[in-house]
Amino acid sequence: MSSEIRALEPKQLWNKFADLNAVPRPSKKEERVIQFMKDFGNNLGLETIEDEVGNVIIRKPASKGMEDRKPIVMQSHLDMVHQKNNDTVFDFDAQGIDMYVDGDWVKAKGTTLGADNGLGVATIMAILESNTIAHPALEALFTIDEETGMTGAKGLKGGLLEGEILLNLDTEEDDEIGVGCAGGVDVTATRAYKEEETPEFKIGYTITVKGLQGGHSGMQIHEGLGNANKLMNRLLFDGFENFGLRISEIDGGSLRNAIPRESNATVAIDAVHEAAFEAEMNDMAAMLKFEFKTMEPDLEIIVSKTETPEKIMDLGVQEGLTRALYAAHNGVYRMSPDIEGLVETSNNIARVIVKDGAIKIGCLTRSSVESTKEDLANTLRATFELTGCEVELSGDYPGWAPNMDSDILKVMVPIYKRLNNGEKPHVAACHAGLECGILGTNYPDMDMISFGPNIKGAHSPDERAQISSAQKYWEFVLEILKHIPKA
């Protein structure tokens, strides 16, 4: 771990972040980071418990003079999205994140950084460890599996927490105070198909789409970024329409909450079409690069000859698949009519796998309105069912309805203005999935708010955390803790 990270200010925050990032912590494999957090709490002599699903709660009494304030919960999630560049050799299950400083930013070498939500976790750890920071009675809530199902928040039972105010530290713009978020549902389409022997007169090609930015499938879905699965399907569809291209395998995207950056396909065409096919694919590549030249300047589309695959998809299933992927909605479905600039409903076609006689398509549908979320999920369901897929809707979680009359909001806005020369914070709902909505189902009377430092490119290897913003955010946190209302 680079010593230059530990030398950054505020040292309390960056040192705890460095400690945390030395621990592998992929979603659904949080055993090591859970033990790390329990050891941390126990070594401080604080009450530390692990609940039935793996969430860790550490309780710290109020500092001297703060005993009459409302008890609070500070909450962040332990898991991180694991993404890396294709040319990066890295084992997320065994290695800590390799960080470095680039100007005003902390980055990772070829992987996600884990600032989402590691900076929030590190903030809470620093406060738990400090003997000088003023704060009311504090419950630190470290949830698991936020990134792939929010099962930690879902599994947290009512009555376990005693705090009256929850500070969620999972917002990624330092001028924003979050008061609401989108809910989500996973849409998964599957079907089996018959594989056929590839005829002798066919030749093989690999098609690769790469170099896309990727990013957060909620916070960045409106930016017009390229989706590797949709771009690949355009190439496959065109190849079939003009040259009878047959698909052998597709492997596109990765996690549901990450806009897919890369896709690879193995295909076969009639040998007689070799020259014309290559020319057509080059023309298609040039056209797509032109379409995305502003948002995706590093887009690469590579078409190269390879060994002819032994098996190809059943023709009828292939036609249905490519048409369904063309028809399936990706991106913004509806903007909020009530909050200017807020995406209300969207979908990310995150994962497409075609291999060994099985198709699997994974989407994440988000919305701040339950009925519209259901509408878009059913639109996708109908699209894939028309081509013979079985469709499962799972992992449904609710949104968080804004409360503009929040008491903690009334505390935080004037503090922000005072610290920032009168500048007003942006009080808004976001299109990401935060755990507040889920936690609110069992703690409906808890006053909740979300904020955090500037983090860019979350869920991609371009993830980076701004050093100056972390300093601004840290000062904001300390002032909020001093001014929690009296009970």
Query: Structural domains in the chain?
Result: 3-182+399-482 (3.40.630.10), 185-397 (3.30.70.360)
pLDDT at 25: 96
| 440 vs 339, higher pLDDT | 440
Radius of gyration of the chain (CA): 24
Say yes or no to pLDDT of 313 above 90: yes
> What does the DSSP assignment read for 63-122?
PTT-TTBPPEEEEEES-B---B-TT----TTT----EEEETTEEEESSB---HHHHHHHH
Alpha helices in 307-401 (DSSP H): 315-327, 370-385
Judge whether 79 counts as a catalytic residue. Answer: yes
Which of 30, 139, 145, 146 does the annotation list as catalytic? 146
Mean pLDDT of 268-278: 97
Instruction: Please name which of 301, 52, 36, 13 lies closest in space to residue 154, comparing C-alpha atoms.
Output: 52
Supply the DSSP string of 157-218, one letter for each residue.
PTTS---SEEEE---S-TTEEEEEE-EEEEEEEEEE--EEEPPTTEEEEEEEEE-----BTT
- Polymer length of the chain: 487
Average pLDDT, the chain: 96
Task: Give residue 355's pLDDT band: very low, low, confident or very high (50, 70, 90).
Answer: very high
- Residue 274: its pLDDT value, please? 97
Q: What are the pLDDT digits (tens) for 205-227?
A: 999 999 999 999 998 999 999 99
Is 453 exposed, middle or buried, given 0-12, 13-18 or 19+ CB atoms closer than 10 A? buried
pLDDT of residue 3: 86
pTM of the model: 0.77
Rounded distance, CA 58 to CA 141, Å? 7
The percentage of the chain sitting over the pLDDT mark of 70, rounded to a whole number, equals 100
Percent of the chain at pLDDT > 90 equals 92
pLDDT value for 339: 82
Distance CA 449, CA 400 (A): 10
* Predicted pLDDT of residue 79: 97
Encode 96-112: b = buried (16+ Cβ within 10 Å), e = exposed.
Answer: bbbbeeeeebbbbeebb
Instruction: Examine residue 260 and say whether the peptide bond preceding it is cis (omega within 30 degrees of 0).
Output: no
Tokens describing residue 418: 């005072």
Phi/psi of residue 2, each to 5°?
A: -65, 135
What pLDDT was estimated at residue 85? 87
Q: What is the mean pLDDT of residues 110-122?
A: 97
66 token code pair: 């703060």
What mean pLDDT do residues 273-284 have?
Answer: 97
SS3 390: strand
**Over 80: is that where the pLDDT of 1 sits?**
no
Q: Does residue 261 have a pLDDT over 70?
A: yes
Q: How confident is the model at residue 98 (pLDDT cuts 50, 70, 90)?
A: very high
d(CA 115, CA 123): 11
pLDDT digit string, tens, across residues 41-53:
999 999 999 999 9
How sure is the predictor about 434, in pLDDT bands with cuts at 50, 70 and 90?
confident
| Proportion of the chain in helix, strand, coil states, percent, rounded to 5 | 30, 30, 40
Q: What does the pLDDT average to over 66-71?
A: 98
Q: What is the distance between the alpha carbons of residues 90 and 113, in angstroms, rounded to a whole number? A: 13
Quick one: average pLDDT of 127-137? 98
Mean pLDDT of 358-372: 96
Q: pLDDT at position 340, please?
A: 85
> Could you tell me the pLDDT band of residue 327, with boundaries at 50, 70 and 90?
very high
Average pLDDT on 437-460 reads 94
pLDDT value of position 432: 86
| pLDDT of residue 178 exceeding 70 | yes
